[in-house]
């Protein structure tokens, strides 16, 4: 199932109701000086962009800052947006570049208080099943996977998030990365291999 349809079911009704027109026409209106049209685009796609940004740097504050910066840059460079690509693809490309820059600058913090707080909250909440031990094992595996994902180089992480977490189509991934579809498939395969190599010893430690 495409991410857009998944998101459509996850979005709040108020956010879904904000889609009276297509992205392209909203972009055109925003180019013509209609800031309200850009706000509609922002409300429509900020969750998608935030999800990607959060996976790239799992600290909510950082992810929100990235999203905000991405939309500011999108607004600033709206004249450069070419209609051949989807607006979301263009946005994801901006976010991906921002996350890459952030990772290169070494500003990403690894120990995340917020994530730990969320993990502590998970302890107190009811899991998916009635089996508490099963929930603990799920949490452990998820934690292992999260750590392995965060330990990957940013180019591996971004393609895994796009394809295997956000379930983007290869065509979109190729446009986001600025490569061919075949190149995108190859990058995803390499990233999966890298993740597999990292996860295996982490799961085998205990």
Partner 1 sequence: MTMKPHNDDQLLNCAFGDITPDEAMRIEADAARNAELRERLDSYQNLRAGLRALGDKVPDHQLSNERLRDAILARGLSTTARPISSPRWWQMAWMPIAAAAIAAVVFMAKPNRPVTPSVAIKQGDNLFVVPTIDAPKASEAVAMRVSEDDAIAARNYAAVLGGMPLEGSAPSPRQREAVRPSPTSRRMSEGRTVPSAPMAMIASGGTGLAAAAAPTGPSAAFGSGAPSMDAPARDDVATHPIVLIDSEPDANTGASRATEVGSPSNVIVGG
Which residues of this protein are in contact with partner 1, per CB under 8 A? Answer: 30-35, 39, 42-43, 46-47, 50-51, 54-55, 60, 63-64, 67-69, 71-72, 75-76, 78-80, 118, 138, 141-142, 145-146, 149, 160, 164-167, 185, 188-189, 192-193, 195-196, 199
Task: Quickly tell me which residue has 């998101």 as its tokens.
Answer: 7
DSSP letter for 57, please.
Answer: S
Q: For the CB of residue 61, give the shortest distance to partner 1 in the complex, in Å.
A: 9
Q: For the CB of residue 89, give the shortest distance to partner 1 in the complex, in Å.
A: 18
Which alpha helices (DSSP H) does the chain contain, by range? Answer: 3-10, 13-16, 23-31, 35-56, 60-76, 87-105, 113-124, 132-151, 154-160, 170-177, 181-205
Compare residues 14 and 106 and give the one whose CB is closer to partner 1: 14
Compare residues 97 and 143 and give the one whose CB is closer to partner 1: 143
Task: Tell me the three state secondary structure of residue 125.
Answer: coil
DSSP letter for 85, please.
Answer: S
Q: For the CB of residue 107, give the shortest distance to partner 1 in the complex, in Å.
A: 18
| 184 Cβ neighbours under 8 A, 6+ residues apart | 159, 170, 173, 174, 177
Compare residues 106 and 127 and give the one whose CB is closer to partner 1: 127
Compare residues 151 and 165 and give the one whose CB is closer to partner 1: 165
Compare residues 104 and 147 and give the one whose CB is closer to partner 1: 147
């Amino acid at each position: 199932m495409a991410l857009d349809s998944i998101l459509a079911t996850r979005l709040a009704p108020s956010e879904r109701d904000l889609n009276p027109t297509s992205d392209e026409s909203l972009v055109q209106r925003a180019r013509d000086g209609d800031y309200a049209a850009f706000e509609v685009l922002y409300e429509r796609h900020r969750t998608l962009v935030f999800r990607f940004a959060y996976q790239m740097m799992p600290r909510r504050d950082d992810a929100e800052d990235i999203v905000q910066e991405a939309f500011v840059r999108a607004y600033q460079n709206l004249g450069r947006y070419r209609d051949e690509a989807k607006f979301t693809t263009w946005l994801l490309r901006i976010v991906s570049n921002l996350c890459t820059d952030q990772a290169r600058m070494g500003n990403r913090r690894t120990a995340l208080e917020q994530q730990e707080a969320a993990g502590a909250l998970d302890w107190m909440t009811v899991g998916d099943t009635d089996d508490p031990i099963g929930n603990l094992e799920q949490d452990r595996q998820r934690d292992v996977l999260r750590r392995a994902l965060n330990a990957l180089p940013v180019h591996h992480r971004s393609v895994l998030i796009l394809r295997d977490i956000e379930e983007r189509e290869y065509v979109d991934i190729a446009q986001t990365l600025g490569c061919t579809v075949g190149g995108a498939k190859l990058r995803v395969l390499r990233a999966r291999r890298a993740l597999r190599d990292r996860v295996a010893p982490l799961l085998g430690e205990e």
